[in-house]
Structure 1
Amino acid sequence: MMPTLTDKEFKNFRQLMFDLAGINLTEAKKPLVSGRLAKRLGQHALDSYGDYFKLIQIDQAERQMALDLLTTNETYFFREPKHFEFLASTIAPTLRNQGPVRVWCGASSTGEEPYTIAMTLAESLGHMRFDILASDISSRVLQTAQQALYPMEDARDIPKALRTKYCLKGIGSQEGRFMIDRPLRERVRFESINLCAALPDIGCFDVIFLRNVMIYFSMETKREVVARMLPLLRPGGHFIISHSESLHGVTDQLQLIKPSIYFKRPN
């Protein structure tokens, strides 16, 4: 019989997730925490979630495992398609006459979003004219993203012409799956980055996507994260969040030009 996650134990995991990733776990997430960590208790033959919490205080690899398990990673290709339409029709044309275009996907999850950006830019700019940094705090999802291998049903939202051009249908042992083609994969670099900590030296970007992650942050954390990222957005660049999010009260350094699409004024 599996142990029960007590309120005190849940409070400890809530604090851990906030400290590590700035994520606020509401009371409604208690069953999620219990369910996702249950197998780890069994694998370590632990009698309580409290014992598991003690383990992750001293075992960094297991702490990363817990973080991976408790991070929500829902994503799919061409999610919120108006952003990619705007990228192709409005942003990309302004970047054609400059050096290599750089885009940062700040919460890349299992890779569907950065590969969608890559397909969009490949159509607009050509393969050799852009680079994408795709980052996430979860090492587990980054491993999946780097493989670029997905179930065939995940291709349903990719326009047919792009599916044909950029997706390789699996055969033999890979039947029922598809892979993003190599030239496109080579335009995307994956890196583990915690947005709630000091950022590594990753350079500056023409476009930053930060979608479907701030919904888990407190207002203070949102301000801190955006304040870290904005110096890396070039003047004249665009900052794109999800339609369910807002930067109202978060920063006054960006101009809203379309729902969920912001512009950094040139100096």
Structure 2
Amino acid sequence: MKSVQPVQEQPSATAMAPALSDQEFRQIRDWLHQHSGIHLSDVKKSMVVGRLQKRVKALAMPSFQAYLKFINLPTQRQEQQIALNLLTTNETYFFREEKHFNFLQQQVLPAFEQQRQPLRIWSAAASSGEEAYSIALLLAQQLGLAADWQVFGTDINTAVLEKARRALYPIEASQRIAMPLLQAFCLKGVGKEQGRFKMGPELCQHVQFLQANLFDLQAKLPLFDVIFLRNVLIYFELEDKKRIIQNVTRQLKPGGWLLVGHSESIHGYLDTLQQIRPSCYQYKKPVDRQLQE
């Protein structure tokens, strides 16, 4: 009788993956801060491993150090973006922090309805588009699809921007959208799209998405009447927060509004931003001292 050789157990994916040393984590943390301004605390080390591990293995890199050296090559812009996409956090849902939408509807929009001016609103950290489309749904309901309004959504993460452009979401996400808005401006998926819903084409004509790095804002953007910068600053250190606020405010019209997350405060960051209510700031154009003299 032939002897049967014992089957050797294959090493697990975790065992095969390279370990992340404290020094490598600090180097990756510094790289992320340099390219995005985002600061990772020490407790985020396991998150970095979880998000980059598969990519390091897919490229057959022997270590995280080798991967870091690879993405620092000037020729590896595409891989740099992949790393940014993997390391940036994107948590969002429709009509998140509803009080801001009530503020927009009750205090901001009536003035534009009376003056009949073009309206431009910026979702500055748009992620997969839920915030931008929530704004668009409200504007469509309040102003109509024939009115002159536009919503711009930006994010540093190109992967979530592609999802935003598709405007296709799981049907469960629609539970946060009022039924009249769903019926008027959204389409229910059928056939292969069953279980999902999509923003209607007329609504999507009012919404566009661009890549932008708020820490180093170089994207060509218009001036805005309202900017949503919500639940973004929590990922940055104080001086970097101030830099982002300065970058974003340059895109705000005098008298325009800057809305931050309910748990965030930018009081004292800029003299030109006046807090009207918690998390709602109005931009006051600085006075030209030469004209005063």
| In structure 1, distance between residues paired with 2:54 and 2:250 | 41
Which string of whole-angstrom CA distances, capped at 9 and with x for unpartnered residues, describes residues 201-234 of structure 1?
A: 3121110111111111111111111112212211
Give the superposition deviation at 1:14. 0.5
Hey, what does 2:70 align to over in structure 1? 55
Contact 1:219 1:250 in 2 (8 A): no
Q: Which secondary structure state, in structure 1, belongs to the residue aligned with residue 215 of structure 2?
A: coil
Which structure 1 segments of 5+ residues have no match?
none
Conserved in 2, the CA contact under 8 Å of 1:77 and 1:158?
yes
User: Which of 91, 95, 98 is residue 74 of structure 1 equivalent to?
Assistant: 91
Q: For 1:115 and 1:67, how far apart are their aligned partners in 2?
A: 24
CA distance in 2 between counterparts of 1:159 and 1:34 reads 39
TM-score by length of 1: 0.97
Name the count of aligned residue pairs: 267
Q: Deviations over 1:64-96 (max 9, x none)?
A: 001001100000000000100111111000112
**Secondary structure at 1:178 match in 2:** strand
219, 222, 225: which is aligned to 2:241? Answer: 222
Is 2:256 the partner of 1:256?
no
SS in 2 for 1:244: coil
For residues 49 and 249 of structure 1, the distance between their equivalents in structure 2, rounded to whole angstroms, comes to 40
Distance 2:231 2:59 in 1: 33
Q: Distance in 1 between matches of 2:59 and 2:95?
A: 39
Structure-2 residue corresponding to 1:131: 150
1:128-207 alignment to 2 at 5 Å? 128-207=147-226
Aligned pair partner of 1:121 in 139, 146, 149: 139
1:12 aligns to 2:27 (yes or no):
yes
Q: Is the 8 A contact 1:168 1:180 kept in 2?
A: yes
Matched with 2:264 is: 245
Residue pair 1:152, 1:176 contacting (<8 A) in 2 also: yes
2:81 equivalent in structure 1: 64
Task: Look up the match of 1:88.
Answer: 105
Q: Deviations over 1:113-157 (max 9, x none)?
A: 000000111111112321111100111110000000011111111
Structure with greater contact order relative to length (CA < 8 Å, sep ≥ 6): 1
The answer for unaligned runs of 5 or more in structure 2 is 1-15, 287-293
2:219 alignment partner AA: P
Contact 2:275 2:282 in 1 (8 A): yes
Matching residue of 2:128: 110
Q: Which has the larger radius of gyration?
A: 2
Instruction: For residue 255 of structure 2, give the secondary structure of its aligned residue in structure 1.
Output: strand
Contact 2:167/2:198 (<8 A) preserved: yes
TM-score, with length taken from structure 2: 0.88
Change (3 A) 1:6 1:249: farther
Residue 25 (str. 1) matches residue 40 (str. 2): yes
3-state secondary structure, aligned to 1:239: strand
Q: Which amino acid aligns with 1:160?
A: M
How far the C-alpha of 1:2 sits from its partner, in A, is 1.2
CA contact (8 A) 2:272 2:285 kept: no
User: Identical aligned pairs, as a percentage?
Assistant: 43
Quote the offset at 1:199 in angstroms: 2.9
Distance in 2, Cα, partners of 1:82 & 1:234 = 22
- C-alpha deviation, 1:266, in angstroms: 5.7
